[in-house]
A and B are shown apart, each in its own frame.
Chain A
Amino acid sequence: MQATQKQPRGLFWRYALLVFVALIFCFPLVFMTMSSLKPDLQLLTDTESIRAFLPVGDISFDNYVAAFKRAPVALFVFNSILVTGTTVLLSLFLCSLAAFSFVFLDWKGRNIILACIVATLIVPFETIAIPMLMLVNKLPWIGLNGFEIGWLDSYHVQIIPLIADGLTIFLFVQYFKDLPRELIEAARIEGASWWQIYYKVIMPLAGPVMATAAILKFLAMYNQYLWPLISVQAEQYRPVMIGLQYFFQLNVAWGEVMAYLTMITLPVLAFYLVLQRAFIASIASTGIKG
């Protein structure tokens, strides 16, 4: 393998293969973006040829303008980013803290609790959504309007119940297990507090797992549909996936749908591309692993 690397012909075929696979992964997105620029009829007839992937014909931003008219797109994107961002940050913090405790600290019952947490991985969220709705409706809250019962119709109902999850904790636990315990023992002997060890010793090493957990959590949160559907009534709190329903009227305006899909996909792609750099950097710098 390494021997052929210098030969230009082998190199060509390798790149050809890479590009071919890249095309397979790209084409629906290219189709989406290009379609968002076309009027409905052209969009639908273009699927009969390569034109589906090209910015040809009657190209304009009309669909975007129409989408903004049909639904408060900016509000939905803002809500989703707010809810998702807050949840991801809190989740990374609380789950890594718990995982740190499970892996590095000795206390009674930690194994049982950890086993229970891993077991929750199996519960699909959809199956507990209705009982959860009944539950949050009975929970107290102190907010701007003082004390009230019931969490519905708010940002916090979309955030707090979804912060902690088994997968995030599990990912941190698996990663922490591979870190050398000597690091912590050394810090302990030097008299560092547990908080300092978590914050100054472990977290700086947790780059890769943070990136993985963040991406997974971001995706899960950004794509929420069922939970906001049943827990939020006011338009001012609705996230992007509920907003998608605005575009499915009897006669679907596919151009607008494509424009909306493109707009709600952009923030995720941006988030991913930013994290991707951290991700690569952290993989490259993982001297401690293995």
Chain B
Amino acid sequence: MQNKSSSRLMNAPSTGWLFALPASFLMFLFIVVPFCLAFYFSFTNQRFASPNAAEYVGLENFRQLLSVSVLTIEPERDPATSAILKEADGATKYPTVRSFTRNPDYPQYKGMREWFSWSSGDNRKVLLTSDVVFMKALVNTFLFVLFVAPLQGGIALCLALMINQKLRGINIFRTIYFMPVVISMVVVALLWRFIYDGQNGLLNTLLSGLTFGLFQPVDWLGNTSTAFPSLIAMSIWQAVGFHMVIWLSGLQTIPVSLYEAADIEGVSAWQRFRYVTWPGLRNTAILVLLVITMQAFALFIQVDVMTEGGPVDSTQSVVFQAIERGYGKQDISGGSAISVVLFLIVLTISLMQRYLTREKS
């Protein structure tokens, strides 16, 4: 990358150390050391408040979190004819999952719970896990990342393109679009509770006004089907301005001469975007995607302020569970185990991301 002479010019081991030391030391002391402690806690039964000394428990905390097994349930049969029994509504009758998980004859299923089930021939297959809430939190967090990353990135890019026009007063609009970013997520979440309120919330008022009263009020945060999308929409609203600015600075690095050349060719607006703008944004795109992914995995405040994971776990998130257990239930070891799992997941993803982006460039 650099030629020899510049390398020699730049060679300054003691100064290098000296400049890097203060920040590196602080990070070592206040991030690396506590994280190693948390890592250690995840192998113990450490509590926030307890007179008992913490003991080493090996992988027990992780086993509690991640155990999964498949239970095959055969339909109930008539003892005499061995015909399959039916419920009143015609559905096949199965013994309850409970009769296995709470049965001393099946110690391997003890303490496990149904996550979901499907049918396989006459039998019903049930996926059991020792921690359904954590599994749901994990799935939700992935869903959140999967929805938020492209949506937020895409909307932010549209906004950036809008703001990149040479219009009088455009700076005012940019300032306004960025404003939600500087407002605390706690404040935003509190305000949006008024927007999503099931009876006279602002959103319901607006929608029924637009449809001249035809719209039936929806309890946005109270329905298992709407709660999570509502959180996603609000999160995008809050953070999209930030990514707009990143895109914007990327747009500004594209040389004007390229656009002029394109104009001379007489291309359409879409072609201009596709062949001039977008290729110039590749590095920015990587940055935007990376930052959004990181932020999305940390989903917590929205859940904490607005839904506490409900209704029926439809808005659980991994960080929310880590904190709920570590602080709410005073189980530091359990909370730490979740943190470690999250760390490993995000590490894997960022390594993958890095690998993929490196190969292309």
Contact = CB atoms under 8 A, between A and B. Distances in A.
Contact of B254 (A117, A185, A222, A290): A290
A265 B41 CA distance: 38
B182 interface: yes
B252 A283 contact: yes
A145 to B, nearest CB: 23
Contacts of B269: 1
Interface string A95-111: 10110111011111010
A135 interface: yes
Contacts of B6: 181, 185
Contacts of B188: 28
Contacts of B322: 124, 126-127
A174 B246 CA distance: 13
Contacts of B336: 127
A164 B32 CA distance: 12
A25 B237 contact: yes
Nearest to B197: A47
Contacts of A225: 186
B312 interface: no
Nearest to A46: B200
Contact of B202 (A21, A47, A162, A286): A47
Q: Which of A15, A44, A129, A131 has the most chain B CB within a 10 Å cutoff?
A: A131
A189 B27 contact: no
Nearest to A113: B24
B96 interface: no
B16 A106 contact: yes
Contacts of B294: 121-122
A102 B24 CA distance: 11
A188 interface: yes
Interface residues of A, number: 96
Nearest to B201: A47
Nearest to B166: A5
A226 B185 CA distance: 14
Given A107-B17, A127-B342, A32 B186 contact: no
Contact of B38 (A5, A128, A226): A128
B11 interface: yes
Given A122-B343, A261-B187, A130 B237 contact: no
Nearest to A279: B245
A268 B23 contact: no
A244 B27 contact: no
A283 B178 CA distance: 15
A132 B34 contact: yes
Interface string B16-50: 11111011101101111111011001000000100
A241 interface: yes
B56 to A, nearest CB: 17
Given A208-B249, A241-B186, A130 B48 contact: yes
Contacts of B165: 1, 5, 14
A193 to B, nearest CB: 9
Given A98-B20, A289-B253, A135 B33 contact: yes
Interface in A127-155: 127-132, 134-135
Interface string A1-31: 1100100000100110110011011111101
Given A117-B24, A120-B27, A181-B6, A47 B205 contact: yes
B181 A219 contact: yes
A88 interface: no
B23 A94 contact: yes
A161 B27 CA distance: 8
B205 to A, nearest CB: 6
B32 A120 contact: yes
A32 to B, nearest CB: 6
Contacts of A113: 20, 24
Interface string A234-270: 0000000100100000000000010001001100110
Contacts of A135: 29-30, 33-34, 37
Interface in B241-291: 241, 245, 248-249, 252-255, 263, 269, 272, 287
B35 A161 contact: no
A25 B180 contact: yes
A84 to B, nearest CB: 12
Nearest to A101: B19
A17 B27 contact: no
Nearest to A244: B186
B2 A29 contact: no
B179 A26 contact: yes
A85 to B, nearest CB: 15
Given A101-B18, A104-B10, A131-B37, 15 more contacts: A21-B159, A21-B173, A26-B179, A28-B180, A28-B188, A94-B22, A95-B23, A113-B20, A120-B32, A130-B327, A164-B22, A188-B9, A264-B187, A265-B187, A268-B183
Interface of B: 2, 6-7, 9-20, 22-24, 26-27, 29-35, 37-38, 41, 48, 159, 162, 165-167, 170-171, 173, 175-188, 190-192, 194-195, 197, 200-202, 205, 237, 241, 245, 248-249, 252-255, 263, 269, 272, 287, 294, 297-298, 300, 319, 322-323, 326-327, 332, 335-336, 338-339, 342-343, 346-347, 350
Closest 5 CB pairs of A and B: A107-B16, A127-B339, A131-B37, A290-B253, A101-B19
